[in-house]
Amino acid sequence: MKAEIITIGDELLRGEIVDSNKARIAERLLLLDLECRHQVSVLDDPADMRDAFRRAADRSDFVLVSGGLGPTRDDLTTEVLAETFGRKTVLDEKSLAVIEAFFARVGREMSDVNRKQAFFPTDADVLPNPIGTAPGFSIREGRAVFFAMPGVPRELDLMMDEQVLPRIERLLVFSEATVGATVGGSRAAPVGAPVERAERQVVRAVLLRTFGMGESTLEAELLDLAREGDVDLGFRTSFPDNFLRPVARAKTAEEADARIAQVTKAIRTRLGAIVYGEGDETMESVVGRLLAERGLSVATAESCTGGLIAERMTDVPGSSAYFLGGIVAYSNAAKVALLGVSEALLESEGAVSEPVVRAMAEGARARFGSDFGVATSGISGPDGGTKEKPVGLVWIALATAKGTHAESFVFQVDRSRHRSLSAQVALDWIRRSLLGVELVGPSLLRRGGGGSAPGGS
Amino acid sequence: MKAEIITIGDELLRGEIVDSNKARIAERLLLLDLECRHQVSVLDDPADMRDAFRRAADRSDFVLVSGGLGPTRDDLTTEVLAETFGRKTVLDEKSLAVIEAFFARVGREMSDVNRKQAFFPTDADVLPNPIGTAPGFSIREGRAVFFAMPGVPRELDLMMDEQVLPRIERLLVFSEATVGATVGGSRAAPVGAPVERAERQVVRAVLLRTFGMGESTLEAELLDLAREGDVDLGFRTSFPDNFLRPVARAKTAEEADARIAQVTKAIRTRLGAIVYGEGDETMESVVGRLLAERGLSVATAESCTGGLIAERMTDVPGSSAYFLGGIVAYSNAAKVALLGVSEALLESEGAVSEPVVRAMAEGARARFGSDFGVATSGISGPDGGTKEKPVGLVWIALATAKGTHAESFVFQVDRSRHRSLSAQVALDWIRRSLLGVELVGPSLLRRGGGGSAPGGS
């Protein structure tokens, strides 16, 4: 079974935007064990589009098309797809009513061009778009099933998840008909009609997010698990994290569920607190959940991270329940006036020093009356380093009722990565403290050479 | 003249990474007035690669290939490209010496597999890679010239800029030979041999960043400029901004330079302070430059933006010269204790109110002793709204020596966009205040319907 992705739009071929739709579609197809064999992008040009559609119909079983469903004259996907395969376009009254209702709801006037979006090729299966004006559709053409979807990422995501993937899954699972019967079959054949699949397997995948161990160390630690036949273990760096993606295949859903649960457990047992989350969880959402569960609160005192820790914590809805506030103490005067760091200490030790970062974390905890106070002070660069305190040096401190933990690192990465890595260590320390595990990040990070290594060539 | 981009790698088709190489290559080609007509991605699979190479040779003049030049067994570009067009691969001693020197310089041992990277198809023109181990190469095949480049983005960028673009430019400019003479020409023809081009043009483009006016209003304002024959005016939304990209074409570099300067000036005159920057400039880097030039400073008091304004300002290297610090006053207690907002005011007006946001901005200015104090207080959602104060409401204030300006908006966008849009207005007000222009953002933003509209479908 081969899948192909076609994205349409002049802006893609001019390099005006980076086309992330392809990656998001491909990632989802993988969950159905569907290999994406070709990815093609074409201009809003009927000849090029036609050529791409014909070729895809010849070589692929599932063709995922994104873009060109909008109301403007440049949006040609529906017309060209219909015309390529000798179909007409017909008005779908139900879709028209939905589009009219959409405009009424958002209080905007519906223009005539939007009517165009209620037209579909004959015998198409309409795919609703609850969050936009462009419905998608699906048509079967010979061996191939085409899915036309909007190019707006969040609309595309929702349509993939709610409409397209379930349809593909149905097509893959039911195998009453043979491929022979569907190839060259009637155009009127419903899109939901079954396609045979020789060795149908059920696939389950999990994304495990890790922080604190370099990619090569991770691979070495999990080598035996990665080599088991029915499980693929993927590794991916997403600075400053490393992601693991075990994919299990089995004959039944029960077997696949059991296998993925087993592998996930084995990885978690092996790595311990290095695994901080699963799926969509972020470090800040995990920290937030743990704080909320325990009824504890946090405040920040940031120098080199400049508000990044606070910004990430408050990015989580409901964070006001546990995030009391923070101080971005960029100047020494602010460290003195707002965090109560002593002037003498700043004078004798410098702003990037253990006693100052401790005083900052404790000052934040005291000023905000929070359970945790976390602080950073470092030299993110590109300038400002000295021999004793090089660019890349950062002191991080976590103050709790039991005392304050502080440690220094030298992260030899650029300014933006330095800030992001420092913030991640600070958040990870709150998490580790809440879980009652050692704040071991430092030694692991050091061993890994300045944090999870960025991706290879 | 048609260009085609082929990117190679399993990781692209699995959606494990977003392929930004295509956009970066296409953007550069546009500067040579070269239209990128096809973009294709294939697996590390000889049959698929061969198929893509053959097709590209048939339909395109320039084929830009990225990926598959590494040392591993999966890296097949050189072998498959050679084999597709009936060539052998030969060792280039000079490249081998360069690779050996590279490993000596970085102090790593060179393995045997790296020798592979010094092999090229016969009659190839080697493209040096001063920052990596994989040199690129170029071969001519019929009407097409292939450029094979590494997939590592910074290596690719450098090779495009220093090796590939100058070669393409040379091929385009010199027109001693006719297309007829090169089509089907000898394989031994040097890659630098000329290709005819009917109307060679020099292209100049500028990226203008705007904030505060909706995309449709912008288009209407600039309609006449967009329709001039020798200038294309591109529009692109990058929330919360809208970007304009005038592209001018002329017969000589001088003419093109003059034309783009003229168009840029006309747009700036028409739009005034709506244009905030050019090229790589960001709102925070422009604000920072203006503050530094005038020797002025700023401090922040953030509630709903949660540190985002501070984080963005300090993302700019050298920001300690003008950014004194900020307070993330998420809780009411923090607003009272750290910003001096009166408890009675919070009680009677609520945290999201004009008097409170004014007190916050003035409090930040006073506490940090800065020239500007900027504050936000709003309901970013998804929860927390009431009938009087709906989700989306935000108060923004800017305090200066001359007084405090405050205004409210209702931005009906999701949490993350609400924060980003609010922060952008706050930063834009500092900029407008420094430029001595009216803080008109609000009315324009209102007219545009909740800020620059997100991209269409």
B10 inside 8 A of chain A by CB: no
Q: How confident is the model at residue A278 (pLDDT cuts 50, 70, 90)?
A: very high
CB contact under 8 A, A382 and B236: no
Q: Is the pLDDT of residue B387 over 60?
A: yes
A65 and chain B in contact, CB less than 8 A: no
* Residue A169: CB atoms within 10 Å: 14
More reliable by pLDDT, A257 or A174: A257
H, E, C per residue of chain A:
CEEEEEEECHHHHCCCCCCCHHHHHHHHHHCCCCEEEEEEEECCCHHHHHHHHHHHHHHCCEEEEECCCCCCCCCCHHHHHHHHCCCCEEECHHHHHHHHHHHHHHCCCCCHHHHHHHEEECCCEEECCCCCCCCEEEEEECCEEEEEECCCHHHHHHHHHHHHHHHHHHHHHCCCCCHHHHCCCCCCCCCCCCCCCCCCCEEEECCEEECCCCHHHHHHHCHHHHCCCCEEEEEEEECCEEEEEEEEEECCHHHHHHHHHHHHHHHHHHHHHHEEEECCCCHHHHHHHHHHHHCCCEEEEECCCCCHHHHHHHCCCCHHHCEEEEEECCCHHHHHHHHCCCHHHHHHHCCCCHHHHHHHHHHHHHHHCCCEEEEEEECCCCCCCCCCCCCCEEEEEEEECCEEEEEEEECCCCHHHHHHHHHHHHHHHHHHHHHCCCCCHHHHHHHCCCCCCCCCC
**What gap in Å lies between CA B247 and CA A14, rounded to an integer?**
12
CB–CB contact B15 A28 (8 Å): yes
Judged by DSSP in three states, B377 sits in strand
Higher pLDDT, A189 or B257: B257
Residue B21 C-beta-side C-alpha neighbours within 13 Å: 29
Closest Cβ opposite residue B26 in set A13, A27, A72: A13
The structure tokens listed for A91 are: 């008005």
Smallest CA–CA distance, residue B329 to chain A, in Å, is 5
Confidence of residue B318 (pLDDT cuts 50, 70, 90): very high
Output B30 or B369, whichever has higher pLDDT: B369
- Band of pLDDT at residue A259, cut at 50, 70 and 90: very high
On whether any CB of chain B is under 8 Å from the CB of A323, the answer is yes
| Predicted confidence band of residue B50 (pLDDT cuts 50, 70, 90) | very high
Query: If pLDDT is split at 50, 70 and 90, which confidence band does B200 have?
Result: low
Q: Which two tokens stand for residue A414?
A: 């650029």
Average pLDDT, chain B: 86
The per-residue pLDDT for range B8-28, each reduced to its tens digit, is: 988 888 877 788 899 889 988
- Asked whether residue A198 carries a pLDDT value surpassing 80, the answer given is no
Q: With 0-12 CB in 10 A as exposed, 13-18 as middle and 19+ as buried, what is A456?
A: exposed
Cβ-nearest to B415 among A19, A35, A317 = A317
Contact B328 A326 (CB under 8 A): yes
Sheet containing B323-328, strands listed edge to edge, beginning at the edge strand earlier in sequence: A403-410, A393-400, A372-378, A298-302, A323-328, B323-328, B298-302, B372-378, B393-400, B403-410
Residue type present at position B80: V
Four-way CATH pick for A298-447: 1.10.760.10, 3.90.950.20, 3.30.1330.90, 3.90.1150.10: 3.90.950.20
Residue type, B351: A
**Residue B14 is nearest to which of A13, A30, A331, comparing CB atoms?**
A30
Can you tell me which residue has the tokens 């005291």?
A366
In this chain, the answer to whether the domains covering A2-182 and A298-447 adopt an identical fold is no
Q: Tens of pLDDT along B344-365?
A: 999 999 999 999 999 999 999 9
Which fold is adopted by the domain B283-447?
Maf protein (3.90.950)
As a whole number, mean pLDDT of residues A37-48 equals 94
Beta strands of B122-190 (E only): which ranges? 125-127, 136-141, 144-149
B93-115 burial code (b ≥16 CB/10 A, e <16): eebbebbeebeeeeeeebeeebe
**Of the partner residues A27, A132, A324, the one whose CB lies closest to the CB of residue B331:** A324
Q: Say if residue A279 is exposed, middle or buried (CB neighbours under 10 Å; 0-12, 13-18, 19+).
A: exposed
**How near does any CA of chain B get to the CA of A130, in Å?**
14
Residue A455 to chain B, least CA–CA distance (Å) = 9
**Residue % of chain B over a pLDDT of 70:** 89
Structural domain spans, chain B: 2-182, 202-278, 283-447
Q: Is the dihedral of CA A283, B18, A414, A331 positive or negative?
A: negative
Residue B441: predicted pLDDT: 57
Q: Between A117 and B111, where is the model more confident?
A: A117
Q: Which of A21-25, A362-366, B239-243 has the highest mean pLDDT?
A: A362-366
Give the model's pLDDT for residue A192. 43
Predicted TM-score (pTM) of the model is: 0.75
Residue B444 has what pLDDT? 41
Please provide the distance, in angstroms rounded to a whole number, between the alpha carbons at the two ends of chain B. Answer: 30
**Confidence band (pLDDT; 50, 70, 90) for A441?**
low
Q: Which of A75, A320, A331 sits opposite B330 (nearest CB)?
A: A320
pLDDT at B428: 97
Q: How do residues A362-383 score in pLDDT, each as one tens digit? A: 999 999 999 999 999 999 988 8
Which of B27, B28, B33, B39 is best to mutate for the A interface (most A CBs within 10 A)?
B39
Beta strands A62-66 and A2-8, pairing class = parallel
CA distance B331 to chain A (A): 5
CB-nearest to B23 from A15, A320, A331 is A15
Size of interface A-B (CB pairs under 8 A): 247
Alpha carbons A238 and B221: distance in angstroms, whole number: 42
Q: Per-residue pLDDT tens for A121-130?
A: 999 999 999 8
**B381 or B419, higher pLDDT:** B419
Portion 225-244 of A in contact with B at CB < 8 A: 234, 236
Q: Which residues of B touch A10 (CB under 8 A)?
A: none
Flag the least confident range among A139-143, A400-404, B243-247, B376-380: B243-247
What is the complex's ipTM, to 2 decimals? 0.74
Mutate which of A5, A14, A323 to disrupt the B interface (most B C-beta within 10 Å)? Answer: A14
Residue B214 banded pLDDT, cuts 50, 70, 90: confident
Collapse the DSSP code of B39 into the 3-class scheme (helix H, G, I; strand E, B; otherwise coil) and give the result.
Answer: strand
| Structure-model confidence comparison of residues A309 and B246, the more confident one | A309
CB < 8 Å from A in window 351-370 of B: 367-369
* Facing A325 at nearest CB: one of B35, B134, B328: B328
Indicate the pLDDT class of residue A200, thresholds 50, 70 and 90: low
For residue B449, the model assigns a pLDDT of: 34
Question: Which residue, chain included where needed, has tokens 């893959």?
Answer: A172
CA distance A373 to A370: 7
Taking alpha carbons only, the member of B275, B217, B272, B273 closest to residue B246 is: B275
**Which of B37, B307, B330 is the closest to A328 by Cβ?**
B307
> Comparing A59-63, A335-339, B132-136, B263-267, which segment has the lowest mean pLDDT?
B132-136
**Chain-chain contact of A236 with B367 (C-beta, under 8 angstroms):** no
For residue B451, pLDDT over 50 is answered with no
The CA distance from B423 to B315, in Å, is 14
Which of 3.30.1450.10, 3.30.70.2860, 3.40.640.10, 3.40.1180.10 would CATH assign to domain A202-278? 3.30.70.2860
Which pLDDT score, from 0 to 100, does residue B173 have? 66
| Interface list for A 255-274 with B (CB within 8 A) | none
Please provide the distance, in angstroms rounded to a whole number, between the alpha carbons at the two ends of chain A: 30
User: Which of these, B244, B225, B224, B275, lies nearest to B444 by C-alpha position?
Assistant: B275
Q: Which residues of A382-414 are buried (b: 16+ CB within 10 A; e: fewer)?
A: eebeeeebebbbbbbbbbbeeebbbbbbebebe
Residue A146 or residue A227, greater confidence: A146
**Touching B: A residues 157-186, CB under 8 Å:** none
For CA atoms A64, A69, A75, A76, give the dihedral sign.
positive
What are the percentages of helix, strand and coil residues in chain B, rounded to 5?
A: 45, 25, 35
Q: Which of A24, A132, A337 sits opposite B457 (nearest CB)?
A: A132
Whether residue B195 is predicted with pLDDT greater than 70 in this model: the reply is: no
Question: A16 and B324: CB-CB below 8 Å?
Answer: no
**pLDDT category of residue B406 using cuts at 50, 70 and 90:** very high
Taking an 8 Å cut-off on Cβ atoms, the answer to whether A333 and B368 are in contact is: yes
- Quote the CA–CA distance of A397 and A383 in Å, as a whole number: 23
Q: Most B CBs within 10 Å: which of A330, A332, A416, as the mutation test of the B interface?
A: A330
What is the distance between the alpha carbons of residues B163 and B28, in angstroms, rounded to a whole number? 12
Query: What pLDDT was estimated at residue A138?
Result: 97
Chain A: closest CA distance from residue B300 (Å): 9
Average pLDDT over residues B144-158: 93
Q: Kindly report, residue by residue over A327-360, the tens digit of the pLDDT.
A: 999 889 999 999 999 999 999 999 999 999 999 9
* pLDDT score for B199: 54
Over 50: is that where the pLDDT of B442 sits? Answer: no
* Chain A contact set for B310 (CB, 8 A): 306-307, 310-311, 328
Is A26's Cβ below 8 Å from some Cβ in B?
yes
Residues facing residue A442 across a β-bridge: none
- Decide if pLDDT at B457 tops 90: no
Question: Domain A2-182's class?
Answer: alpha beta
Give, as one character, the DSSP assignment of residue B381: S
